[in-house]
Structure 1
Amino acid sequence: MPMRLFSLRTPLGALLSIFLSLPAFSFTPSIGTIQPRGGQRGTEMTIRLSGDRLYEPQEILLYQPGITVTKLEKVGDQHKAVKATISIAPDAPLGEHMMRLRCKGGISYQRSFWVGEYPTVMEKRSEDGSRDLNSNFNEPQEIQINQTVQGVADREDADYYLLQCRKGQRLSVEVEGMRLGRLLFDPYVAILNKDRFELASSDDTALLFRDCAASIIVPEDGPYTILVRESSYQGTGACQYRLHVGEFPRPTAIYPPGAKPGQALDFTFVGDPTGDLVSKIDIPGKSPNYRAFVKSGEWLTPSGLPVRISPLPYHNEVEPNEGSKEATPTEAPAIPVAFHGILSKKEDKDWFRFTGKKGQRLRAQVFARQLRSPLDPYIIIRKEGDSKQIGNNDDAGNGDPDSRLDFEIPEDGVYNINIRDQLYNSGPDYTYRIEVTERSPALSATLPYAARNNSQKWKMICVPRGNRVGRVVNLSRSNIGCDLILESTSLPSGISLERDTAPRSINTMPVVFEASPEAEIAGGLYNLRVKDPKSGLSGPLKESIHHIEVNNAGTFHSYHDERLSIAVIEEAPFELTLEVPPVPLVKNGVMSLKVTAKRHPEFKEAITVTLPWRPPGVSAPSSVTIPKDKNEVIMGINANGSATVAKWRIFVTGEATCSKGPVLVSSKLQPIEIADPYVGGKIELAATELGQNTDLVCAISVHKEFEGEARINVNGLPHGVTTETLTITKESKEIIFPLLVSKEAKKGKTSNIFCSVVITENGHPISGTAMGGGVLRIDPPPPAPKKPVAAKKEPPKPTETKPAKKRLSRLEQLRLQSKNAN
């Protein structure tokens, strides 16, 4: 199915005026760190964003509410730091806040800033900053309770903090280390008494990923020491942490782990040293990443506990429910439904029941690790009263340890789902939620990764004024087959979106963002959605950013959102034009694309050109290069025999490094047609001897008529065999290639001989393989006739000479006489 076209024209005069007045080339600002790493609610503070190419900073893009930037200014003349004055609202959400810096030349990578309830103090270090001053238990840094410490876990370093506590007081500690998103850092924390005895310690926690937390009830008045280090003493100067020390509650789980939107519900917070805490919370109407906080006294937990918000009706487990007859609830509910429970007892198993109708196609989905429970779930589906399993599942796949099972109801009745831990582990924080729903259609989209272990590269859509930036969008369809189109309710002023309708047969689509020459330099966070034009069903374009990603080890801290950063930036120093020949690319054919760069007079650098999106069955080189001081390059592409016959549009992207950073631009979308071959046929078997010429006969079948003559060649001939280029017309039925076979030709059978044909249409070549599978056999010459062999004359036999009679001795004579006498 062809794609429908959406086009945009840019005035040539405006474009020329841009190129004649191009400012200094500065692109792709980079931020490495934000210091300090966090701040206190209800305060105003200054933060420093350090990196490179931070020319003309414009604004900080904030992903969460609660922080306002009141001032933004550059630091020095090296363009490596920006200072921002921010105001943190008293009700700002606690925890991670994501931000990007937008400059005139682009948008930086996403970085994090953390909001807490406590004032921040810095770890004491030497004047030159090379070492800390709290690495000895007997010489700790003194702090107050209800403070946050920002420190560094160096190599073979242990940081000690001393504070005074009262008997019966709750003392909690929590470390933000890995979650700061800077590098792979596995922190360890312990609470020590005055005798250096560990009262509590923590390395990894399910709730906080690789970060740690511990909490105790103080046994007696006196000094207590907090120890922080890298778990294996392999820290570096980049292993920063935020240590919260206070009277805050620190539960490890929440129950129930799910709720309906807009519901006011009593939640039980499990795992605090004072016992379970109950708090009523008003659930928001919509929040995909909602976290619940509990307050004890005047303090909240530093980080919240995830709660799944869904409109599904749900049932909490009622003990005992360890078998089919005891399954929760007593009356089986209809689909859709959700269940909540805790695997709290040793080798615990929980059973639930629901009603199903024959033919229902259902999905059972467990939310455990996704809600930061330590549970590794394993589920089984059965018809109630029947031991035979309908299905079971451990992991959903793709690194998701939660269970997901798709199944079909074989007959009307009541069915059971039972859940346990894969290794039969259990505990008071082994909470879970199970959703059983009908498999409904769903749509979504993502942007592919441009580099391994770098999920942010080119994820920011920065469009130079009067230019374009193209992207490939990955499409996901679940339980539906449909065409898709990409839509946006809003974009920065002056940016338009050029795209086609993607047919149901493909899972990727090309899109091009174009900025008008007069577009204002501005940007922000924007939602894009994919939509089925017929049914109206739509889904979000999701962005997943992995802040810590280790080769072959996976991701360790990620952020997920449904907004993309899009901006109009300063003019780029070059523009790309893609020229696609106005003829089809035939199956098993090749085509040459011409890419032209229109450069600013001062820009001379090489440009790396890629073809990011290719129609199904079309291949291209990974990249070609427009050399320095050159303006053109040819990119050869080819279509295999399974290429999809249709009309598509493609674009090329050019990346170049300017004196002040890399920049990326794209061409317009240009039409290309994939077609069936014009000519086909069959190559007859040919056989000859060394030194004996022969003919290669080919039957011609013309599938689509063409004007004039077409050149046809034989390819794949063995060494020592040559032929000539011939021509055919649309009336040709057969063609005979004379093969010149030398005496040095390669002997034996040569397969896979094929014919290529070049047809000229509208002055442009259509090149492809017309036929293949030809065989040529070259035999050695027969041996020369053998001369008759003369019979060999046998020499005369010598006369047989009788041996002389042997004379017997006297003894032998006597013996012979005795023998004859007897």
Structure 2
Amino acid sequence: MTIQGQLGSGSRGEIDLFRIPAKEGQQLSVEVDSVRISYNHYGDSEFDLAVRILDESGQELATNDDNPLHLQDPVVSLKLSYDGLAYVEVRRSVFAPRNTIYCLHISENRRPLVAYPPGGQAGSKQVITLLGDPTGDYEETIDIPEKIGRFEYFSGSPSSLLLRSSPYPNILENQTALETFVDKLPSVLNGIISQAGDTDVFRISAKKGDRLQVRVFAATLGSPIDPKIRIRSTDSKSKPGSIELEVDDALLTDHDIFGTSFRGGGGLKEVLDPSVIWEPTADGDYLLEIEDTSNSGGPTGIYRVEIVSPKNVIHTALVSRANDWMECPRTSSLAVPQGNRWTVNVSILPGQGNTYRGELNIIANGLPAGVRSVSPRVPSGAKLWPVQFVADQSALLKGALVTLEVVPIDSSHRLKSRSQQNIPFINHPGGDAWRTVRLNRFVLGVTEPAPFTIDVTPPSVPLVRGGELAILVKVTRREGFNQPVQFRCDWRPPGIGFPPTQVIPSGQNEAFLRISAQERAPLGILPIVVVASTVREDFSDYVGTGHVRVSSAIVNLTITEPYVELTSQPESIRRGQRKQFVWTVRHKRPFEGEARVKLIGLPKGVHLINPLPLLTKHLKEISFQVEATNEALLGRVAGLSCEVVVETEGQEILQRTGSGTLRIDPKL
């Protein structure tokens, strides 16, 4: 049976107690779902429960708080030795004054904790031994799925065991020998760290120039061990030699898990399981050793080591980029109003061992009728890129599951593409959820029409390094809609600066977006796009909840070298003095007409004297006349620069250049 319960939020720790009939020889299995069905995590232990099984006198028969299978959700099973009554007690591990929901599963089923071997070859039948049940181990024959990767196996229990489907057959450790021989690679090794201090050894042959991914699955599959691997060379007598590779824990990205941000970089069990790319330094035999750093070995200390040739894989991921890792519709959801656009930044993340470097196209698969995607060509090495979805006015109000596939521009390259989104179980800032929902497709919905559209006027002139550019942004309002509209640039190419959120007030339809380029901004054509939303007094648009959101079309912005480069020698001036401050001009790009130049950064009490110089493409130097008053601050002032304004095609291009120094001395 399954009981839905709740521990109350009172000032005292509440305990729920359930009475059940007991029979001698009967198996009693109890599991709790609480953390796994919780709706938030405030960083404390409000969903961390514990279970005890008591006899009629209140004596404890079995108990569990945390475990390798479900982490904070307890699971316990025992064989009863008497007739009468038994009691199941559910309580908090640590008191927290909040309501705590849970589901309690009480049954007579067997409750194994792991399977050995913990997987098999895809498409085959595999005999597994189920370990950890109090009544003893037992065997079952299961069908291994054709799909490569992790899969669930329930074996009659309310919750599943996790196993692996792999392309290669199993090799089981030889428990009666010091070493287990592996005849060829790729291969899948399986074993059990059966006691504390145990080290299993596999002898493998490899060649210099091989490139192998060595990935361990242990904690990930519910094993209690914290595995560590070591690869040693062997000497001429086949004895253990020097250590070539030693790996303990892993990053989540080592397991191709992206989009989760946890304190300390952990949060999921995969961080305990090593995963590494190994390149042997010589032909010959090697010893792969695996041990448990936590001394938690025992009958359920299973592990699996998959040694394969890594493939070129690139993942497209939607990642929440809001503060404190909450799920953020503004940055990671796909809601497209009819007759409008929406744009998100897609993370482009190489899998472990990927060697492909090159340009890509992003293709959306599974879009509903009337919806199309727009994305410029992705340059080599880009980690983040805008993808836009456009819904026709006639597109039906419906949802779809879509993938974003990356395709090499150079068709001679073979590349696997996978989509991924990890959504944390968290609904507020400041939490620390270790549970996530992992998706391999993205949910897209066509929504009702938005009350406005937003457009960006494509720049007719380039943005120069070290310069600024003003771009016109226009809002087109539907009849009856006169509310403020706020807009921002979520897509921020490297080296390009954007202002914070701007608001177009009621009664107005235009604003200027002022963007700037650093002096080392990448040259070339970059996409820019503006996202906009309605304004609410009760909700910020930072997260996006409760707002109608649209985007402009993606337009191109060209980044070029500056027109000129100005330099100066250190200069000095005395209080009460006027003096020419000379700057040398180096022309980098020609321009027509005259450019206005202004010296900026002067300290208090130092002024420019008009007229200011005008710059043409023929001048080699310019000078400013400066005056220091008696109130001028004495001392050295650094960081002076020149602001150059060039007019072309009816638009002003502003550039800042130079870094001058001026010393203010006392009056003689």
- TM > 0.5: yes
Alpha-carbon separation, structure 1, partners of 2:148 and 2:26: 35
Closer, same or farther in 2 for the Cα pair 1:314/1:621, shift >3 Å? Answer: farther
Partner of 1:264: 125
CA contact (8 A) 1:485 1:533 kept: yes
* CA-CA distance at 1:373 after TM superposition: 1.8
Rounded Cα–Cα distance in structure 2 between residues aligned with 1:148 and 1:710: 79
Preserved CA contact (<8 Å) 1:154 1:234: no
Q: Secondary structure at the match of 1:179?
A: helix
8 Å Cα contact 1:390-1:407 kept in structure 2: no
Render the CA deviation track for 1:694-737: whole Å, top value 9, x for unaligned.
11111112211111111111111222222243211111111121
Matched, 1:149 2:3: yes
Quote how far apart the aligned CAs of 1:536 are.
Answer: 4.3
Instruction: Give the equivalent residue in structure 1 for 2:639.
Output: 752
Partner SS state of residue 556, structure 1: coil
Among 408, 430, 438, the alignment partner of 1:560 is: 438
Q: Which residue of 1 aligns with 2:401?
A: 525
For residue 686 of structure 1, report the CA deviation from its aligned partner: 2.1
Asked if 1:392 is matched to 2:392, the reply is no
8 Å CA contact 2:114–2:221 kept in 1: the answer is no
Q: After TM superposition, give the deviation of residue 549 of structure 1 in Å.
A: 7.8
Structure 2 counterpart of 1:369: 219
What is the aligned counterpart of 1:309 among 145, 165, 171? 165
**Do residues 497 (structure 1) and 373 (structure 2) align?**
yes
Q: Would you say the 8 A contact 1:617–1:639 is kept in 2? A: yes
Cα distance in 1 for residues equivalent to 2:480 and 2:71: 50
**Structure 1 residues 673 and 750, CA gap change in structure 2 (3 angstroms):** same
Distance 1:662 1:151, change over 3 A: same
Indicate the residue corresponding to 1:191 in structure 2: 53
Match of 2:475 among 597, 601, 614: 597
Compared with structure 1, are the counterparts of its residues 251 and 629 closer, same or farther at alpha carbon in structure 2 (3 Å cutoff)?
A: farther
| Residues 11-59 of structure 1: CA deviation (Å, up to 9, x unaligned) | xxxxxxxxxxxxxxxxxxxxxxxxxxxxxxxxxxxxxxxxxxxxxxxxx
Cα 1:251/1:549, change in 2 over 3 Å: farther
- Of residues 309, 321, 328, the one that matches 2:180 is 328
Deviation, structure 1 residue 571: 0.4
Residue of structure 2 equivalent to 1:695: 580
CA–CA distance in structure 1, aligned partners of residues 532 and 652 of structure 2: 26
Measured after TM superposition, the shift of residue 550 of structure 1 is: 8.5
Residue 611 in structure 1 maps to residue 492 in structure 2: no
Is residue 532–residue 538 contact of structure 1 (8 Å, CA) maintained in 2? Answer: no
Q: Does 1:357 align with 2:213?
A: no
Note the alpha carbon deviations across 1:538-584, whole angstroms, 9 max, x for none: 31120111114887774321111111111111001111111243111
Residue 333 of structure 1, CA deviation: 2.9
1:463 aligns with 2:336: yes
CA distance in structure 1 between the aligned counterparts of 2:97 and 2:51, rounded to whole angstroms: 14
Paired position in structure 2 for 1:651: 529
Residues of 2 paired with 1:553 and 1:408: CA distance? Answer: 40
Identify the residue that residue 586 of structure 1 maps to in structure 2: 464
Residue 509, structure 1, aligned to residue 385, structure 2: yes
Tell me the residue number matched to 1:634. 512
| Alpha carbons 2:397, 2:447 under 8 Å: kept | yes
Task: Report the secondary structure of 2:373's partner residue.
Answer: strand
**Following the alignment from structure 2 to structure 1, what is the Cα–Cα distance between the partners of residues 429 and 664?**
53
Query: In the alignment, what sits opposite 1:25?
Result: none
Residue 654 (structure 2) pairs with residue 773 (structure 1): no
Q: In the alignment, is the contact (CA less than 8 A) between 2:463 and 2:469 conserved in 1?
A: yes
1:283 match? 144
Give the match for residue 454 of structure 1.
Answer: 326
- Residues 542 and 562 in structure 1, CA contact (< 8 A), matched pair in contact too: yes
| CA distance in 2 between partners of 1:747 and 1:726 (Å) | 26
| 658 and 600 in structure 1: CA distance in 2 versus 1, 3 angstrom threshold | farther
Distance in 1 between the 2:150 and 2:229 partners?
Answer: 25
Q: Provide the C-alpha distance between the structure 2 equivalents of 1:548 and 1:335, rounded to a whole number of angstroms.
A: 42
TM normalised by structure 2 equals 0.90
| Letter aligned with residue 335 of structure 2 | C
Give the partner amino acid of 1:512: Q
CA deviation vs aligned residue, 1:418-441 (integer Å, no higher than 9, x gap): 111113221111111112233432
| SS of residue paired to 2:298 | coil
Distance 1:362 1:554 in 2: 35
Q: TM-score, normalised by structure 1?
A: 0.73
Give 3-state SS (helix, strand or coil) of 2:617's partner.
Answer: coil
Contact 1:157 1:235 survives alignment (8 Å): no
- Count matched residues: 623
Displacement after TM superposition at 1:320 (Å): 3.8
Q: Is the 8 A contact 1:377 1:419 kept in 2?
A: yes
Alignment of 1:646-725 (within 5 A): 646-657=524-535, 661-723=546-608, 724=610, 725=612
Taking the aligned partners of 1:716 and 1:548, their CA distance within structure 2 comes to 47
Alpha-carbon distance between aligned partners in 1 of 2:321 and 2:207, rounded to the nearest angstrom: 46
Q: Is the 8 A contact 2:319 2:422 kept in 1?
A: no
Asked whether the 8 Å contact 2:327–2:426 carries over to 1, the reply is no
1: CA distance between counterparts of 2:546 and 2:244? 58
What amino acid maps onto 1:653 in structure 2?
V
Conserved 8 A contact 2:225-2:294: no
RMSD value over aligned CA atoms? 2.0
Quote the residue 2:260 is aligned against. Answer: none
Provide the secondary structure at the position in 2 that maps to 1:208.
Answer: coil
Deviation of the 1:362 alpha carbon: 3.0
Give the corresponding residue for 2:77: 215
Q: CA deviation at 1:742?
A: 1.9
The code of the aligned residue for 2:524 comes to A
How far did residue 191 of structure 1 move?
Answer: 1.3
Deviation at 1:687, TM superposition (A): 2.3
**Which secondary structure state, in structure 2, belongs to the residue aligned with residue 591 of structure 1?**
strand
Q: Which residue of 1 aligns with 2:627?
A: 740
Which amino acid in structure 2 is aligned with residue 610 of structure 1?
R
Alignment partners' CA distance in 1, 2:290 and 2:482: 64
Query: Which of 180, 197, 206 is the equivalent residue of 2:68?
Result: 206
Q: Which runs of 5+ in 2 are unaligned?
A: 42-46, 252-264, 538-544
- Note if contact 2:40-2:428 (Cα within 8 Å) is conserved in structure 1: no
Secondary structure of the residue that 1:388 maps to in structure 2?
strand
Matched, 1:764 2:620: no
**Shift, 1:235, TM fit:** 5.6
Q: Deviations over 1:209-245 (max 9, x none)?
A: 21111111111111111111222243633x2111111
Q: What residue is the counterpart of 2:541 in the other structure?
A: none
Partner of 1:117: none
User: More displaced, 731-740 or 547-556?
Assistant: 547-556
Q: Is the 8 A contact 2:148 2:167 kept in 1?
A: no
Shift in alpha-carbon separation, 1:680–1:500, aligned structure 2, 3 A: same
CA contact (8 A) 1:153 1:235 kept: no
Q: Secondary structure at the match of 1:379?
A: strand
User: Secondary structure of 2:220's match?
Assistant: helix
| Offset at residue 337 of structure 1 (A) | 1.8
Is the 8 Å Cα contact of residues 225 and 295 (structure 2) preserved in structure 1?
no
Task: Work out the CA distance in 2 between the residues paired with 1:350 and 1:290.
Answer: 26
Q: What residue in structure 1 maps to residue 415 of structure 2?
A: 537
Look up the equivalent residue of 1:691 and give its one-letter code: G
Secondary structure of the 2:36 match is helix
Alpha carbons 1:548, 1:556 under 8 Å: kept: no
Aligned residue for 2:433, secondary structure, equals strand
| Matches for 1:74-93 after TM superposition, within 5 Å | none
Letter matched to residue 631 of structure 2:
E
- State how far apart, in whole Å, the 2-side matches of 1:639 and 1:606 are: 29
User: Are residues 1:228 and 2:90 paired?
Assistant: yes
2 CA distance for matches of 1:555 and 1:530? 30
Whether the 8 Å CA contact 1:270–1:276 is kept in 2: the answer is yes
SS of match in other structure, 2:435: strand
Equivalents in 2 of 1:574, 1:536: separation in Å?
Answer: 43
How far has the Cα of 1:262 moved from its partner? Answer: 0.7
> Quick one: distance in 1 between partners of 2:429 and 2:212?
36
Q: Distance in 2 between matches of 1:678 and 1:636?
A: 19
Q: Do the aligned partners of 1:506 and 1:616 also contact (CA within 8 Å) in 2?
A: no
Distance in 2 between the 1:421 and 1:552 partners?
34
Secondary structure of the 1:268 match is strand
